[in-house]
């Protein structure tokens, strides 16, 4: 069998048993790390270092991807790259059986397999990363007035909570400084999103870096969006059981909401990953989701409760805009989710 040299960095056709191992390892590690939080009483959680558990939990998809990659490397190249077919006449290729030391055939590097690389062209990577930051800041903000229009979020454009907080920091009435204060706080959000990218990269290395391209290769982008969303949504189950994200919501209801969130938001993140060729734009977008969560406090009416099941980017009303974008992407799925650099051009 011969394999084009140019094909060796493309997505391998990973055996289903290895993909299943990735899923099993990710879910098992997630439960092992989060189980102490699940077993804690509410009083114990108040004093526990939940941030440490949470940060370790976020790394489990990357650890699962590395485990699956090690198993993948043990597969014959004919299994991993046989889907590329025979070499066209005159194409630069080598034989798997007779490869010379100067041109050793090998699977993807671990950084390619996890989507960490390639980092070139730098300009394109930066452009997609900036787009990821701006797009998810826009989604996070737009969800609030949209939720207000639908009656599920107490939207108040006068920002009473923000003004009160700014006044306490300045030691005087901050009403006339609200525009300046807002610009500063937006800068803080973007800075936090940039600084937090490496933690969120652990999530993306697994779901969009390793798993999504391999599922897309087997069943196409539409199925890959749904399957990756379902598996990553189930991965959040122990955090939901510990009271994260949808506080005081029954676990199965919270899980249903998380599955919807993971499919819709994860589908847009997959688009960023496949268009850029790496996980970094999606990781910046993930980091922005966390950093911009403070917006729903600023724009809420004083004294009103926010139902995260219905409002903000976590809730049903917040999925409308990213859902419409994802619908358009899936209509043109072949162009929206290219598998290699040639298709991106």
Domain layout of the chain by residue ranges: 2-344
pTM of the model: 0.90
Q: Contacts for 242-247 with beta carbons within 8 Å, 24 or more apart?
A: 242/34, 242/37, 242/38, 242/40, 242/45, 243/42, 243/45, 244/54, 245/308, 245/314, 246/308, 246/309, 246/314, 247/308
Q: Which residue has the higher pLDDT, 93 or 152?
A: 152
Q: 157-208, pLDDT tens digit by residue? A: 988 888 887 777 766 666 667 778 889 899 999 999 999 999 999 999 999 9
So what's the pLDDT on residue 283?
98
Q: What is the model's pLDDT at position 174?
A: 65
Structure token pair of residue 170: 């300045």
| Region 97-104 average pLDDT | 42
Cα-Cα end-to-end distance for the chain: 29
Measure the CA–CA gap between 119 and 277, rounded to whole angstroms.
8
121 pLDDT higher than 50: yes
Distance between CA atoms of residues 140 and 137, nearest Å: 5
Any idea which of 65-69, 165-169, 172-176, 314-318 has the lowest mean pLDDT? 172-176
pLDDT at site 341: 61
Q: What is the pLDDT of residue 47?
A: 82
């Amino acid at each position: 069998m011969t394999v084009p040299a140019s094909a060796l960095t493309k997505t391998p056709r990973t055996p289903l048993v290895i993909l299943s191992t990735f899923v099993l390892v990710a879910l098992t590690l997630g439960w092992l790390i989060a189980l102490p939080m699940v077993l804690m009483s509410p009083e114990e959680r108040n004093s526990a270092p939940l941030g440490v558990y949470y940060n370790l939990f976020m790394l489990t998809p990357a650890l699962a991807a590395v485990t699956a990659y090690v198993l993948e490397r043990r597969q014959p190249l004919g299994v991993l790259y046989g889907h590329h077919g025979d070499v066209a006449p005159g194409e630069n290729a080598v034989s798997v059986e007779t490869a010379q030391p100067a041109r050793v055939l090998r699977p993807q590097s671990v950084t390619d397999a996890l989507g960490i690389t390639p980092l070139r062209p730098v300009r394109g990577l930066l452009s997609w990363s900036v787009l990821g930051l701006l797009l998810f800041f826009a989604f996070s903000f737009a969800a609030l007035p949209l939720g207000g229009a639908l009656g599920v979020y107490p939207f108040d454009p006068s920002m009473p909570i923000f003004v009160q907080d700014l006044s306490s920091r300045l030691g005087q009435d901050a009403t006339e400084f609200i525009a300046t204060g807002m610009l500063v706080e937006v800068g803080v959000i973007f800075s936090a999103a940039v600084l937090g990218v490496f933690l969120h990269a652990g999530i993306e290395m697994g779901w969009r870096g390793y798993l999504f391209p391999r599922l897309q290769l087997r069943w196409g982008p539409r199925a890959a969006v749904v399957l990756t969303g379902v598996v990553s949504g189930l991965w959040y189950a122990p955090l939901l059981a510990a009271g994260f994200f949808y506080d005081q919501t029954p676990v199965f209801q919270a899980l249903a909401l998380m599955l919807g969130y993971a499919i819709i938001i994860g589908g847009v993140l997959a688009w960023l990953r496949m268009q850029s060729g790496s996980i970094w734009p999606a990781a910046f977008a993930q980091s922005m989701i966390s950093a911009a969560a403070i917006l729903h406090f600023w724009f809420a009416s004083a004294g009103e409760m926010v139902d995260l099941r219905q409002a903000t980017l976590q809730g049903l009303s917040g999925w409308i805009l990213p859902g419409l974008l994802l619908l358009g992407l899936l209509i043109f799925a072949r162009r929206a989710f290219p598998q290699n650099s040639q298709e991106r051009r």
